[in-house]
A = this chain, B = another copy of it.
Amino acid sequence: MALIVQKYGGTSVGSIERIECVADKLIRFKEQGHDLVVVVSAMSGETNRLVELARQIDTQPVPRELDVLLSTGEQVTIALLSMALEKRGQAARSYTGAQVQILTDSAHNKARIREIDDRNIHADLAAGRIVVVAGFQGVDEKGNITTLGRGGSDTTAVALAAGLKAQECQIYTDVDGVYTTDPRMVPEARRLKRITFEEMLELASLGSKVLQIRAVEFAGKYNVPLRVLSSFEEGEGTLITYEEEEMEEALISGIAFNRDEAKLTIVGVPDQPGIASAILEPISDANIEVDMIVQNIAEDSTTDFTFTVHRNDYERAMEILNKISSNLKAREVSGDNKIVKVSLVGVGMRSHAGIASKMFRVLAQEGINIRMISTSEIKISVVIDEKYLELGVRALHETFELEKVS
């Protein structure tokens, strides 16, 4: 008998029928003797509906009131799921973030959890109840409702699992685990049984939108075993833990890619201290997030400075560069919004030289030109032309034999 925290996302509770399926599933778990704490999101579509109501009043609604509004989404789900459990004869009790209570700081719309009061939950579990908690929300010291930012229900689940010292935190979603790459692109893609928190972080931040980055960080920090599973199919999913002896010893765990990138280059600026910040400050002042940054030094004591941004921010970033380029004495500003980023991720990479050169060789053999390169300890990312995305990912998946269990 173990304490398990489960989290069901918006699609998993997107209709009354699905809420009833989740109730049935929970009762089967409970019958296996587990203590269950369940975190749920708003029914799919509900958060967008609420945001749209707010937006009709104000495109920049007061953050405090936006939280009051959005938190109703999860509150509806906890009530409905608890009703469905009780209807089936299973005692249950719902809690809003404020009721638990999940104490956060006062940063509305992006609050961080400080502390969780688990007294009510322990009492309910002892009484045989399934505890149903609203994800994504909390309360600050003054009793104001806060939200953790979009998708924050994963974080709620992990924080509860950490606080309650749960055996596992299970994230139910619409995919059945973490794959070596997107199976829609590479049919041979394989579900990973286990990966490390670090690998998951790189995969999540590179576009495998299975888990929220903050939740993975949180799970890693508090060493909460995290499992991603499907709400709709049976299966073991993917377990995310720390590296262990018996773990799959793959060099590469997966290939992530991101189609939403655009790159901008400011060509031939004088190579002086402070030039990087002179370029990036106005970009960041415009609230544009920069992903990769590469700088090359040319022969003539000028430098080319290249960075990538989200494709939606490309036009605005280009305008800013054009404005500042003459002040910076730049020769030229250029850009490309038809590029993608492809990344190899794997903890095995640390101890093995030659991964990078193998990657570059494969791409060259396929006639794919690499536009940018950036590396970290467990990741190598390259920027290539959009049209080569599928070719590149498939070639890499085959070369590194990711379809095989190593």
Contact = CB atoms under 8 A, between A and B. Distances in A.
Interface in A43-66: 50, 53-54, 56-58, 61-62, 64-66
A57 B16 contact: yes
Given A57-B80, A57-B83, A58-B87, A99 B65 contact: no
A58 B76 contact: no
How often does this chain occur in the complex, in copies?
2
Contacts of A84: 57-58
Given A16-B57, A94-B68, A62 B76 contact: no
Contacts of A71: 75
Contacts of A79: 54, 65-66, 68-69
A68 B61 CA distance: 25
22 contacts: A16-B53, A16-B56, A19-B57, A20-B57, A54-B80, A54-B83, A57-B84, A58-B87, A61-B86, A62-B83, A62-B86, A64-B94, A65-B80, A65-B82, A65-B83, A65-B86, A68-B75, A68-B82, A68-B96, A69-B79, A99-B144, A99-B145
Contacts of A93: 64
Interface of A: 16, 19-20, 50, 53-54, 56-58, 61-62, 64-66, 68-69, 71-72, 75-76, 78-80, 82-84, 86-87, 93-94, 96, 98-99, 143-145
Contacts of A53: 16, 76, 80
Given A53-B76, A75-B75, 6 more contacts: A61-B87, A65-B79, A65-B86, A69-B80, A69-B83, A99-B145
Given A54-B83, A56-B16, A98-B98, A72 B61 contact: no
A69 B79 CA distance: 5
Contacts of A87: 57-58, 61
B98 A83 contact: no
